[in-house]
Structure 1
């Protein structure tokens, strides 16, 4: 089969379209004929091996252990292991797997759910990691409540577009989105009550205080964010910029976790795991009922995976990028 592989860490140029062995499913696995695969920040981190702590987490010190990139997946079931009970060949599914930038990929049954019938494969592939990260950050980490005043930083990105929709349509919060000029209309169309263009206005200088701040791609100091957080409000950091090769965006997350026990405000920086089948099914229902809609900036064929990641590196992606297979 064809797959996007890499043998060394580095820029997008290290990615190559090559012939590799088709994966063989185990007793608890599902073999998927991939139709689409989402591009998310984890792809970039595993491609570059940055920040360096990524390599210490089991992904390979000197070279990537997992040669095929990609996590988000949508496609049809090709075959299933003998212990698999929920799926059979021909079923349309979406979820996560190791190595979705390929014609075929294997994953466990509990990492998949039935694809929403009304969604395309491209839309389904844009959902798993980003939508789950938004949901987990708002619900489990942020303890969002109806009527909360919520600020989403990076509201036009992959996680941010879902966070705005979930906070408004599912949790009935008062939502303010922060984004660049080119994304303000998009964020407003997703349901945000107020949109702040960070290139024109400094939302940390004054203005309202927020019960919950979800920072999906910020680089502002914790002290600035705390100024616009209510005395017992919650800040959830799920992304970041800068920080260099050793810490990347982790420096703010580590600082938040170290400071939180000593103040009344809640500062959180969760390590989000892959969504399980029940959460994927809940997200599928939200999509099918129109309460959330995947936002796709553009699609690329599998052979142009490196170009997709180069586009993501520019930092202007509206929602998600998706590879078609």
Structure 2
């Protein structure tokens, strides 16, 4: 007699069996629902989003990254780190959150084997904050990784502020749309680089100048910048770094394209190795904690920053959501509604 799982103790999740095209390696399955441990919160997910680590791990490129994720298949089978949802239950030593609270946050850096392409997940309480009532679950989930990356890049790594000139390459993507807005709130003069179809979007986000990369090679312009955030690395890093003003900082933030054994790693490594010379190169390493989440939420709640969502997919179409991101043409974020 075939035994079936008790659906009250399971959940729908998108499970990854190997590496390759999203529609081939991602599948829906009912698996055991996780339980909240000490200091953890069980969240009934309402939305999540797709980030670079998600599509990179699904595709398994650059291949060298499989040394960290798993050679034949990822050790953690459920993708996703951003989350927005409702607290279902709390574990021991959870002090501030209660069942029924609406929250947003991230699993990034927590060491958890859980993921967010699922109906439920568990997250450390310290990596969750209360969701603003005026923010949809999709907007909340789509804001976290890209928002914290942009906030850290502009405020802490680059030191954007009045009198500073900022260039954002890939200004219409998830991090780019956030970075343009955050740099403006800090008082900087911002130039955004994007394709023809996104010029008006980037301008509407507050960019002082917009360069259409299909019509002009931005590395050939005469203007110099104090901060360059490169989310694309579609030009040689040395050419982009020539646009730096004295004491300017170059922030590479991309793993490059998705083809070949090493994909975009050679260009990424060249950008990183430039810091051994005279070019000031810094990487973005953000922490998911309540201080940073509160700072991001303040920007969102005050209306100084808005979340740009290209498309929202239902959970059972998560493979299509990842494929959309793999196309590298999304305006802002790709969200998943649960």
CA distance in 2, matches of 1:82, 1:101: 25
Query: Following TM superposition, where does structure 1 have runs of at least 4 consecutive aligned residues deviating by more than 6 angstroms?
Result: none
Among 185, 199, 207, the residue aligned to 2:222: 207
Measure how far apart 1:40 and its partner are.
Answer: 1.1
Partner of 1:318: 331
CA distance in 2, matches of 1:42, 1:243: 12
Measured against aligned partners, the alpha-carbon deviations of 1:159-184 in whole angstroms (never above 9, x if no partner) come to 00000000002x10000000001111
Measure how far apart 1:273 and its partner are.
Answer: 4.5
Residue 306, structure 1, aligned to residue 316, structure 2? no
Measured against aligned partners, the alpha-carbon deviations of 1:63-119 in whole angstroms (never above 9, x if no partner) come to 111111111110000001111112110000011124101100011111111112210
**CA RMSD between the two structures:** 1.5
Among 259, 271, 274, the residue aligned to 1:259: 274
Query: Alpha carbons of 1:118 and 1:247: their partners in 2 closer, same or farther (altered >3 Å)?
Result: same
Query: Alpha carbons of 1:273 and 1:53: their partners in 2 closer, same or farther (altered >3 Å)?
Result: farther
Is the contact between residue 159 and residue 319 of structure 1 (CA under 8 Å) also seen in structure 2? yes
Residue 230, structure 1, aligned to residue 245, structure 2? yes
CA distance in 1, matches of 2:231, 2:134: 28
Among 16, 26, 33, the residue aligned to 2:37: 26
Measure how far apart 1:259 and its partner are.
Answer: 2.3
CA distance in 1, matches of 2:240, 2:167: 10
Measured against aligned partners, the alpha-carbon deviations of 1:37-67 in whole angstroms (never above 9, x if no partner) come to 011111111112221232222x212211111
Measure how far apart 1:245 and its partner are.
Answer: 4.2
CA distance in 1, matches of 2:221, 2:75: 47
Is the contact between residue 77 and residue 92 of structure 1 (CA under 8 Å) also seen in structure 2? yes
Secondary structure at the aligned position of 2:86 is classed as strand
Is the contact between residue 151 and residue 212 of structure 1 (CA under 8 Å) also seen in structure 2? yes
TM-score (norm 2): 0.91
Among 82, 88, 93, the residue aligned to 1:83: 93
CA distance in 2, matches of 1:51, 1:112: 31
TM alignment of 1:191-206, pairs within 5 A: 191-206=206-221
Residue 123, structure 1, aligned to residue 136, structure 2? no
CA distance in 2, matches of 1:249, 1:3: 30
CA distance in 1, matches of 2:287, 2:106: 7
Among 53, 59, 75, the residue aligned to 2:64: 53
Partner of 2:82: 72
Measured against aligned partners, the alpha-carbon deviations of 1:288-323 in whole angstroms (never above 9, x if no partner) come to 100111111110100111111122222211100101
Is the contact between residue 253 and residue 268 of structure 1 (CA under 8 Å) also seen in structure 2? no
Partner of 1:132: 148
Residue 112, structure 1, aligned to residue 117, structure 2? no
CA distance in 2, matches of 1:240, 1:174: 27
Measure how far apart 1:8 and its partner are.
Answer: 1.1
CA distance in 1, matches of 2:272, 2:193: 23
Is the contact between residue 46 and residue 64 of structure 1 (CA under 8 Å) also seen in structure 2? yes
Gaps of 5+ in 1: none
Partner of 2:197: 182
TM-score (norm 1): 0.95
Measure how far apart 1:266 and its partner are.
Answer: 0.8
Is the contact between residue 296 and residue 318 of structure 1 (CA under 8 Å) also seen in structure 2? yes
Is the contact between residue 175 and residue 192 of structure 1 (CA under 8 Å) also seen in structure 2? yes
CA distance in 1, matches of 2:91, 2:313: 31
Alignment: residue pair count: 321
